[in-house]
Amino acid sequence: MTNVTKTYFPDINEYIIQLNRIWANQWLTNRGELVLELENRLKSFLKTDNIIVMNNGTIPIQIALKLLGNNGEVITTPFSYIATTSSIIWENCKPIFVDIDKDHLTIDEDKIEEAITNKTTAILATHVFGNPCNVAVIERIAQKYSLKVIYDAAHSFGVKYLGESIFNYGDVSTCSFHATKIFHTGEGGAVFCKNEELRNKLYYSHNFGHNGPSSFFGLGINAKISELQAAMGIVVLDHIDEIFNGRKDIVAFYDENIKFDKLSKMKIREGTEWNNSYYPIIFQSEKELSNVQTKLNEIGIFPRRYFYPSLNTIEFVNGKSMKISESVSSRILCLPLSHQIEDSILELISSTINNSIW
pLDDT for 215 beyond 80: no
Distance, CA of 171 to CA of 167 (rounded, Å): 10
Enumerate the H helices of 29-146 as residue ranges: 33-46, 59-68, 82-90, 135-145
- Distance of CA 297 to CAs 8, 147, 315, Å? 23, 45, 28
**279-282 and 264-265: which strand pairing?**
antiparallel
pLDDT of residue 214: 77
Instruction: Output 248-255 pairs: Cβ under 8 A, ≥24 positions apart.
Output: 248/276, 250/276, 250/279, 250/337, 250/338, 250/341, 250/346, 251/276, 251/279, 251/337, 253/343, 253/346, 253/350, 254/279, 254/335, 254/346, 254/349, 254/350
pLDDT of residue 217: 86
Domains of the chain, CATH where assigned: 2-238 (3.40.640.10), 240-356 (3.90.1150.10)
Q: What is the pLDDT of residues 107-133, one digit of tens each?
A: 999 999 999 999 999 999 999 999 999
Edge-first strand listing for the sheet containing 172-176 = 51-54, 189-192, 172-176, 148-152, 120-126, 73-76, 94-97
* CB atoms closer than 10 angstroms to residue 122: 25
Q: What is the pLDDT of residues 304-357, one digit of tens each?
A: 999 999 999 998 887 799 999 999 999 999 999 999 999 999 999 999 999 998
Share of the chain above pLDDT 90, in %: 94
- For 308, residues 6+ apart whose C-beta sits below 8 A from its C-beta are 329, 330, 332
222 forms beta bridges with 207
User: How many distinct helices (H) and strands (E) make up the chain?
Assistant: 11, 15
Its pTM stands at 0.96
Residue with the bigger pLDDT between 51 and 357: it is 51
pLDDT for 213 beyond 90: no
Mean pLDDT across the chain:
96
200-209: b (≥16 Cβ within 10 Å) or e: ebbbbbbbee
